[in-house]
Amino acid sequence: SLRVITVEEHFHHPEVSAEVRALSGPLPVTPDEGFATFVQDEFMPDQDSAERLGGSRLAHMDKAGIDVQVVSHGAFSPTNLDRPEAVDLCRRVNDRLALQISEHPTRFRGFATIPLHDPAAAADEMKRCVHELGFVGTLITGTCGGRFLDDERFDPVLSAAEAVDLPIYVHPGFPDNSAVAGYYAGNWPAAVQFTFATHGFGWHMEAGVHILRLILSGALDRHPGLKLLSGHWGEFAAGWLDRFDGTFAKTRYLERDVSDYYRDHVWITPSGMYTHNQLNYLLGEVGADRIIHSEDFPYLVRDDVAGFLADADLPDDQRHAIAHRNAEQLLRI
Ligand code: GRE
Ligand code: ZN
C-alpha cells in the first residue's frame, strides 16, 4: 500500500500553552456570549488527541492510512510570545515532544518550536532539537512582536536552518491586534471576526505574505540554502506566481523572478484541504516534486488522508513523491 508521511500535524503542551495565553494578554476581539467556548473548540480541540502521541491519534493514523506524522506545536505556541520566558517554554515543548516521539519512534518525527523573541536562543534551540532530539526541521506559527522572518534580527535563525539543512515551516499564527482591527472588525459577531482574521482567511493571507517578504527582502539571496514549507496549498501565494512575475519584474528590483525564488525554496502542502481541483492546479504551478502531504491534525481530522492521494488522477511516480518520497528527501526520514 501507499506509504504516507504527513507534515503539518500538531500537538499541544497544555501547561505551556496556558502560560503563553496568560502572558500574551487577551485575544484582539471583544468577546461576546459563546466566544470563549468557540475558541476552546476551534483552537484547543479534543484533549486526548491534541496532547498525546498515542491512543486516539495512533488509532486515527491507522484508520486514515498515515504511516508517519511529523508533529509540531499548534495554537498558543511560545514561538510567538514576545517575552524572555519564551526560551524556557520552547525547551519544555521540545523536550515533551521528543519524549513522546521516543515512545513510538517509527510513527512520529518532530519539528522544533523556537523562541523568536530571542533570535540567538532560537538558533541554538533549533540546533539542539536537530542534533540532540533528532528533529527534522522547525515550524513557526506566524510572527513575534509583529516581526516577520525577513527582519535582519532573525538572520541567525535563517543561518541555523541552512547549517542543519532542514526546512522552516512558515505556518500561520494569530495576526497582530492592528491587523485584526484594521481588516477583520465589522458588523458581525466575535466568532465571525476571529474566524475571518484567522483560519477562515486572514492568517492564511498573512502566511503567504510571510513567504513573499522572505523573497522581496533579499533574505533568500543572503540564505541561498534556506528551505521553506508552506501549508494550505501555499497560502494563496503559490497560485499567484504568474501575477508576481508580471508585476514585480517591472520594479527592476529583484535579480530573478519571484517564481524562480518560490520554486527553488518552497515546498507546499494541502493541510487537509483535499480537493482534486486544487491539487491539479498546483501540480501545474509548482510540480509534484514540491508538494508534500499533510492533514493538519487535530484541527482537521479526515478519514481520507491516504485516500485523497490514492484517488488522485496521477502517475504512480508522482503519487509516491507527494505521499512520502519528497518528505523523506527534504527531511532525511
Ligand atoms: C492550523 O494549525 O492550521 C489551525 C490551528 C488552529 C485552528 C485551526 C487551524 O492552529 O486550522
Ligand atoms: Zn496547522
Query: How high is the pLDDT of residue 255?
Result: 86
111 pocket-lining for ligand 1 (C-beta < 6 Å): no
What is the pLDDT, as a whole number, of residue 44?
81
Per-residue model confidence as pLDDT tens digits over 171-193: 999 999 999 999 999 999 999 99
Instruction: Pick the atom of ligand 1 nearest to 300's CA.
Output: 11
Backbone angles phi and psi of 310, in degrees to 5: -60, -35
Contact call for residues 230 and 266 (beta carbons, < 8 A): yes
Cis ω before 189 (30° cut-off from 0)? no
Rounded to two decimals, the pTM is 0.98
How many residues are listed for the chain in this entry?
333
**Cα 139 to middle of ligand 2, angstroms:** 10
What is the spatial distance between Cα 193 and Cα 203, in angstroms, rounded to a whole number?
12
Report how far residue 129's alpha carbon sits from residue 327's, in angstroms, rounded to the nearest whole number: 18
Residue 290's pLDDT is: 98
- Asked whether 77 and 20 are in contact (CB, 8 A), the reply is yes
Distance between Cα 146 and ligand 1 center (Å): 19
**Beta bridge mates, 147:** 144
Distance separating alpha carbons of residues 185 and 188, to the nearest angstrom: 8
Whether 299 lines ligand 1, by a CB cut-off of 6 Å, is yes
ipTM of the complex: 0.95
Give the separation between CA 165 and CA 29, rounded to whole angstroms: 39
Q: What is the pLDDT of residue 27?
A: 85
In tens, the pLDDT along 64-111 reads 999 999 999 999 999 999 999 999 999 999 999 999 999 999 999 999
- Taking the chain (333 residues) in runs of 10, the rounded mean pLDDT of each run is 97 96 90 90 86 95 98 97 98 98 98 98 98 98 97 98 98 95 95 96 98 97 98 98 95 93 98 98 98 97 97 97 98 98
SS3 state of residue 193: helix
Whole-number pLDDT of residue 234? 98
pLDDT at 131: 98
Burial class (CB in 10 A: 0-12, 13-18, 19+), 33: exposed
* 235 close to ligand 1 (CB < 6 Angstrom): no
Q: Is the CB of 155 under 6 A from ligand 1?
A: no
Residue 301 C-alpha cell reads as 481530522
3-31: string of b/e by CB count within 10 Å (b at 16+)?
ebbbbbbbbbbeebbebbbeeeeebbbee
Phi/psi at 4 (5° precision) = -130, 125
Pairing of strands 5-11, 266-268: unpaired
In angstroms, the CA 85 to CA 69 distance is 29
